[in-house]
C-alpha cells in the first residue's frame, strides 16, 4: 500500500468536479438475467422459484399490496420512462420482468444507490432499503411474483429523497452543441443573468437537466460577478461555434459554484433559510464535460433550474475541497499496478475560508474517478476526538450526490479538516472500454477520462 499524506495551508479555486461512466453494472446483470431466462424454460418464474402460495402463508406478498409502494418510493426517481435508469419499473409487467436483476442489485448493495456509511453521520433522504424491505422483496420472489389486486394497492411509502420543490428560473444553453473533441470535450457556455432581475436574488435550490445523458458527464454552474462578465463574453466571442473550450475550470476569474450535476445527482432545495447570492448583472458560466468514444456523438442542449428567494437568513457558499498541490505535476501519483494507494490532506480551513471564525457545514459531497475505491472526509477536533462528515467505503462513480446532514455540523477554529482517498490501479480494477479492460498506467490529478481526482466539498455558512 502506498500512502501520501499532506498537511499544509491551502487555497481555494480547485479543479472542477468531473465524472466518467464505465460499463454499468446493469449491463452485466441484464446479461446474466438473459442467460438465466434462456436456460430456465418458458414456465419458470422470472424472479426465481416459488409455488405461488407464499409457502403456505394465507396473505402472500403481492405486487400491488407490497412491492409497488416500495418501488415507487425507492426506485421511482430513476426507473421511469425517459429516466436515467436503463429500464422502467412502473407497472407489474416490468417489475416482474426485471425482478431477478433487481434482486441481484439489492443484495449486492448497488441499488437503490446510497454510498454513505450510515455509521458516519445522519443524512436526509436515505434511499437504501431496510432489511425488512429486502426480506419483503425476497418473499415476493419466493412466492411466485404474484400480481395481486390493482384495487387493493398498499399504502404509499413516503419518498423523502431530496428534490427541487419549484422552478423560478430556467437557464438553457443558447443553442445545441455537438462535441468536437473525443473522448473528452470541455465546453463553457455563457448564460447571462436575466436583466429584469434588478435586485440581488438568492439561489435556494438547484437542478440540472442534461439534454443528452449519453454524452454529458458533468455539469458545473460557476457564478461570475458583474465585473467579470466582460471577460467571459470576450472568451466566448474569440472562439468559433457555441461556447468556448475550458479544460480545468472556466479559463477566467470565476471560482464560486452555483451548483453541479454528475450521474446519480438529483436536484434539491438548500436547507431552509440559506441561499447563494447572485447580484444583478451576474453571469452563469456553464461548464459541460462531454465524454464519448463515438466518432459522431449526438448534440446536447442542457439547462439548469433554480429556486430563488428575495432574502435569506444566511448567505451560503459551495466550497470544493482538495490539496492544491495535487493539481500540479505528479503530486497525486497513483503508480500503475498498485492496488491500494492513499492520498491524504489535513488543514484548518478557517485560516482562509471564514476569517478565523467558526462556520457551519450543511451538506457534503465527494468525487473521484474510475479507479477510486474509498473516500473519507472528517473533522479532527482541536480539543480531541473527531466528527465524521462522509465515509464512502465502496466508491461508485456512477452515483455521485451531495448529502445533507439532518443536523448541521459546526467547524471551530483549531479543528482540522481531513480528506482521504483510496485508489486501486491494479489490472483487476481497470475501466472497461469496448469490452476490454484497460492496461494500468501511472495516473495523476487531471480532467480527462483516464486521470484521477480526490475532491471533497461542502455547503457552508459563516457563523456570525
Give the tens place of pLDDT for each residue, 278-329. 999 999 999 998 887 777 888 999 999 999 999 999 999 999 999 999 999 9
Question: Any idea what the CATH number is for the domain that residue 201 is in?
Answer: 2.60.120.310
Measured between alpha carbons, how far is 262 from 17 in angstroms, rounded to an integer? 8
Return the residue matching grid coordinates 505528479: 330
Q: Comparing C-alpha atoms, which of 323, 363, 317 is closest to residue 346?
A: 323
Are 217 and 280 in a shared domain?
yes
Question: How large a percentage of the chain has pLDDT more than 90?
Answer: 64
Residues 79 and 167 in one domain: no
Question: Are residues 281 and 236 part of one domain?
Answer: yes
Q: How many domains, in total, are found in the chain?
A: 2
The answer on 131 and 85 residing in a single domain is yes
User: What domain range is 49 assigned to?
Assistant: 25-152
Same domain (yes/no): 127, 198: no
Look at residue 244 in the predicted model and tell me its pLDDT. 96
pLDDT value at residue 267:
86
Final residue of a domain: which of 128, 152, 176?
152
Whether 44 and 125 share a structural domain: yes
Give the C-alpha distances (Å, rounded to integers) separating 148 from 44, 63, 142: 19, 6, 15
Q: How many residues does this entry show for the chain?
A: 464
Among 95, 123, 152, the domain-final residue is 152
Please report how the helices 99-108 and 25-40 are oriented relative to each other, as an axis angle in degrees rounded to 10: 130
* Residues 65 and 129 occupy one common structural domain: yes
Cell of 267: 436536484
> Do 132 and 177 sit in the same domain of this protein?
no
Q: Exposed, middle or buried by CB within 10 Å (0-12, 13-18, 19+), for 41? A: exposed
Report which secondary-structure segment, H or E, holds 390.
strand 386-392
The reply to whether 141 and 165 lie within a common domain is no
- The mean of the pLDDT values for the chain is 85
461 DSSP β-pair partners: 316, 360
Give Rg (Cα) of the chain. 23
Cell numbers 451531495 correspond to: 402
State phi, psi for 315 to the nearest 5 degrees: -85, 130
Residue given cell 458533468 in the structure block: 218
CA–CA distance, 269 with 168 (Å, rounded to integer): 12
169 and 48 inside one domain:
no
Determine if the pTM surpasses 0.75: yes
Confidence of residue 56 (pLDDT cuts 50, 70, 90): very low
Cell of 289: 464535460
Are residues 190 and 258 located together in one domain of the fold?
A: yes
Q: Which set of grid coordinates corresponds to residue 194?
A: 436575466
Helix (H) or strand (E) holding 453, with range, is: none
Of the residues 98, 118, 152, which one is the last residue of a structural domain?
152
Amino acid at each position: 500500500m502506498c500512502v501520501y499524506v499532506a498537511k499544509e495551508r491551502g487555497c481555494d479555486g480547485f479543479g472542477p468536479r468531473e465524472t466518467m461512466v464505465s460499463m454499468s453494472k446493469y449491463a452485466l446483470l441484464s446479461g446474466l438475467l438473459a442467460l438465466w431466462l434462456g436456460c430456465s424454460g418458458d414456465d419458470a418464474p422470472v424472479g426465481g422459484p416459488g409455488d405461488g402460495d407464499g409457502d403456505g402463508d394465507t396473505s402472500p406478498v403481492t405486487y400491488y399490496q407490497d412491492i409497488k409502494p416500495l418501488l415507487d418510493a425507492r426506485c421511482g426517481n430513476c426507473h421511469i420512462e425517459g429516466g436515467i435508469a436503463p429500464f422502467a419499473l412502473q407497472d407489474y409487467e416490468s417489475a416482474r420482468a426485471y425482478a431477478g436483476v433487481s434482486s441481484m442489485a439489492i443484495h449486492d448493495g448497488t441499488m437503490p444507490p446510497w454510498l454513505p456509511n450510515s455509521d458516519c453521520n445522519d443524512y436526509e433522504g436515505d434511499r437504501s432499503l431496510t432489511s425488512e424491505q429486502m426480506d419483503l422483496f425476497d418473499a415476493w420472489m419466493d412466492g411466485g411474483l404474484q400480481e395481486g389486486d390493482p384495487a387493493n394497492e398498499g399504502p404509499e411509502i413516503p419518498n423523502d429523497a431530496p428534490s427541487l420543490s419549484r422552478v423560478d428560473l430556467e437557464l438553457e444553453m443558447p443553442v445545441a452543441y455537438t462535441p468536437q473533441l473525443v473522448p473528452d470535450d470541455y465546453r463553457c457556455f455563457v448564460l447571462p443573468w436575466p436583466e429584469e432581475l434588478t435586485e440581488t436574488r438568492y439561489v435556494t435550490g438547484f437542478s440540472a437537466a442534461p439534454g443528452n445523458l449519453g454524452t454529458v458527464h458533468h455539469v458545473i454552474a460557476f457564478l461570475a460577478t458583474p465585473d467579470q462578465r466582460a471577460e467571459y463574453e470576450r472568451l466566448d466571442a474569440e472562439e468559433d461555434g457555441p461556447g468556448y473550450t475550458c479544460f480545468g475550470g472556466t479559463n477566467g476569474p470565476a471560482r464560486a459554484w452555483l451548483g453541479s450535476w454528475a450521474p446519480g445527482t438529483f436536484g434539491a432545495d438548500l436547507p431552509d433559510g440559506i441561499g447563494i447570492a447572485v447580484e444583478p448583472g451576474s453571469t452563469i458560466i456553464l461548464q459541460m464535460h462531454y465524454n464519448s468514444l463515438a466518432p459522431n456523438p449526438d448534440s446536447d442542449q442542457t439547462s439548469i433550474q433554480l429556486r430563488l428567494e428575495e432574502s435569506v437568513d444566511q448567505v451560503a457558499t459551495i466550497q470544493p475541497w482538495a490539496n492544491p498541490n495535487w493539481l500540479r505535476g505528479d503530486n497525486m501519483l497513483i503508480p500503475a499496478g498498485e492496488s491500494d494507494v492513499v492520498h491524504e490532506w489535513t488543514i484548518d480551513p478557517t485560516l482562509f475560508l471564514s476569517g478565523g471564525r467558526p462556520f457551519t457545514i450543511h451538506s457534503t459531497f465527494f468525487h473521484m474517478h474510475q479507479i477510486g475505491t474509498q473516500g473519507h472526509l472528517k473533522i479532527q477536533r482541536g480539543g480531541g476526538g473527531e466528527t465524521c462528515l462522509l465515509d464512502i467505503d465502496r466508491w461508485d462513480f456512477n452515483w455521485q450526490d451531495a448529502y445533507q446532514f439532518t443536523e448541521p455540523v459546526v467547524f471551530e477554529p483549531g479543528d482540522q479538516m481531513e480528506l482521504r482517498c483510496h485508489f486501486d490501479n491494479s489490472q483487476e480494477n481497470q475501466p472497461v472500454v469496448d469490452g476490454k479492460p484497460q492496461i494500468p498506467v501511472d495516473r495523476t490529478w487531471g480532467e480527462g477520462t483516464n486521470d484521477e481526482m480526490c475532491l471533497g466539498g461542502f455547503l457552508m455558512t459563516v457563523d456570525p
